[in-house]
Structure 1
Amino acid sequence: MSLALDLSGRVALVTGGTQGIGLGITRSFLAAGATVVTCSRSAVEPLAGTTHHVCDVRDAEAVTGLVDAVVAAHGRLDVLVNNAGGAPYALASEASPRFHDKVVGLNLMAPLVAAQAANRVMQGQPGGGAIVNVSSVSATRPSPGTAAYGAAKAGLDSLTRSLAVEWAPRVRVNSIDVGLCRTEHTDDHYGGDAGVAAIERTIPLGRMARPEEVGHVAVFLASDLASYVSGARLECHGGGEPPVFLSALTSPAPSTPSTPSTPSTPSTQEQNR
């Protein structure tokens, strides 16, 4: 068996595949030889070698039409990458129910609807198919300011495990929990190079991910190298987030006024050395 990540002859649909992490995923699938279709809510100039469709993934009828169009054009659909997602910062106590509903809709319900449409095709074609859900480290840790997003991503990881059982053995379903990634929007979000550098110092590997590195993980999960991987949550976060108590231990202790002590009785600080 060849160990090359060769996806020649396979058709992949990448939602939100024209910018940010999605663009890195698209480029990685192209490099692996796949035929790539992207979609987004806006009409954009497609990346060379791809075709692009305008589709709001929160619209179930539009998603069904998109999958039908991919199959009509290419005869099959081998890979779905549910990448479209995200959420603006908003405190949970202040955000409206409509806001939360939209966040959960985009990050949980939309991937489910797209997966359902893809599964209907994959179950009936030779070779089945693979679905890769792009999740987040926010699924497994507190997500203040994006609480609904974190909850939706936790739901997406749970959904991944359930679909992997329901749709086996024809369709494999996995998720990638992505950490901080350097995209065209990173500097604006974190206050420029200085802010990014400060954040990167907290990452064990010393830097944020590049979008294509997330793409490499997605290609692996879609490839024959992962033929026995399904229902998995693969973390792509550069080593994760070190526990906060470690930074407390390495920070200088606050100074306290010294208290007089007699020659026969050492100070508290001396006793604790």
Structure 2
Amino acid sequence: MSITIDLTGRVVLVTGGSQGIGAGIAQRFVDAGATVITCARRPVAEPAPGTEHRTCDVRDPDDVTALVEGVVRDHGRLDVAVNNAGGAPYAMAADASDRFHEKIIGLNLMGPLAIARAAYAVMRTQPDGGSIVNVSSISASRPSPGTASYGAAKAGINSLTTSLAQEWGPHVRVNTIDVGLCRTENTADHYGGDEQVRRIERTIPLGRMARPTEIGDVAVFLASPMASYVSGAHVACHGGGEPPIFHFADQITTHPFAPDTSTEGAPS
């Protein structure tokens, strides 16, 4: 007998759901029959099939309140909230401004907390409660040089997940997906081209980066009745993880983030 997940009649909000990993997550909820609302800071020319799109800056609590109230007003309920919006440009911690770090932490930690709180206010009044799925990163559990604030924020998300699961049960389940490298429309640009991406993929135990819909499969499971006794969990979706750096020690000539101590061009 086959097992399927049917979320017909369920209302799902996916932040940052119009592109990248968020689009893959939204697609899988559409495939499961749910009513899917995506949001981002900017409008989209045309929402993905089966979804509707709304604008919201998740860092703005008033925006978040208006978003969730609008979803409930139009659809009568909110069953699942997926905190996917996030990310960070590359910047060494000492070089970036205080404002930069504040914005990164706001987007990746405070925004998800605002969405979760607004969703909980609705879900706790529903007879069958609801589910919150946070999209975290393997950066939460290992050093994240060049994106230090992002890694710290994701570590905060993982801690937040376990705390909210205890505070909000039994009405609302809260879980996290720890995402590894994933191929999106921007992957080649981010890593320096297709050949560099292929070299990176050779270091992943499963031999490739994830597809966005594979992250979506995990999100749908965590939001479904099949995960009815799963709360406070961190589910790894990283293809087996990153191999220890000592395996590549013979290929490394210097610490990759060591400061430049060259005296070339210095005054005598």
Q: What TM-score do you get using the length of structure 1 for normalisation?
A: 0.90
Question: Which has the higher Rg, Structure 1 or Structure 2?
Answer: 1
- The superposition leaves residues 95-151 of structure 1 with CA deviations (integer Å, 9 ceiling, x where unpaired) of 111110000000000000000000000000121000000000000000000000000
Give 1:162 deviation, angstroms.
0.2
- The superposition leaves residues 202-252 of structure 1 with CA deviations (integer Å, 9 ceiling, x where unpaired) of 000000000000000000000011000000001100000011112337x69
2:72 partner amino acid: V
Corresponding position of 2:17: 17
CA distance in 1, matches of 2:50, 2:127: 25
Give 1:7 deviation, angstroms.
0.8
**What is the RMSD of the two structures over their aligned residues, measured on CA atoms?**
1.6
Corresponding position of 2:243: 242
CA distance in 2, matches of 1:248, 1:105: 36
Instruction: Map 1:1-273 onto structure 2 (within 5 A).
Output: 3-44=3-44, 45-248=46-249
Q: Tell me, which stretches of 5 or more residues in structure 2 are unaligned? A: 253-268
Paired residues in the alignment total: 252
Q: Aligned to 1:118, what secondary structure does the other structure show? A: helix
1:16 partner amino acid: G
| Amino-acid identity (%) | 69
CA distance in 1, matches of 2:127, 2:8: 15
Q: Aligned to 2:152, what secondary structure does the other structure show? A: helix
- The superposition leaves residues 169-213 of structure 1 with CA deviations (integer Å, 9 ceiling, x where unpaired) of 000000001000000000101111100000000000000000000
1:48 partner amino acid: P
Q: Aligned to 2:105, what secondary structure does the other structure show? A: helix
CA distance in 1, matches of 2:248, 2:197: 18
1:12 partner amino acid: V
Q: What TM-score do you get using the length of structure 2 for normalisation?
A: 0.92
Give 1:59 deviation, angstroms.
0.6
Contact kept, 8 Å, 1:3 with 1:225, in 2: the verdict is no
Corresponding position of 2:261: none
